[in-house]
Amino acid sequence: MQDMEGTGESKANQTMKASAEATIVNRLGVHARPAHRIVRVAIQFASDIHLSSRMAPIEVDGEYVDSQTNIYRVNAKSIMGLLTLSVTQGAVVHIEAVGPDAEEACQAIKEIIESGLGEE
């Protein structure tokens, strides 16, 4: 294997990081079937993969509060975690991967999300 930038580490041993964003396009958002499709793609990769999304504004004392720090992050290899994101059509999710195949993992997750997750 090739030496990466003179560090003495091979690409297989080096921790790579990648990120991407994808918009949920299917009408019903991420429910059980689409979450299962994301997990099936994610488990093909050695990298740790997480999805995060800004949560919807919440009502406080009759007013809606929208906070930039209201971020929820879950493991893309966990169907229960993905279901707790509660993302709907039009939501933007941030994809983050760390590991030997991080770039490929991010791209694969982005593609499945933007393809509609097997639904209309």
Q: Which of 31, 36, 50, 94 is catalytic?
A: 31
d(CA 21, CA 43): 19
Quick check: is 31 catalytic? yes
Amino acid at residue number 61: D
d(CA 15, CA 98): 7
β-pair type (16-23, 48-54): unpaired
d(CA 27, CA 7): 47
The set of catalytic residues is 31
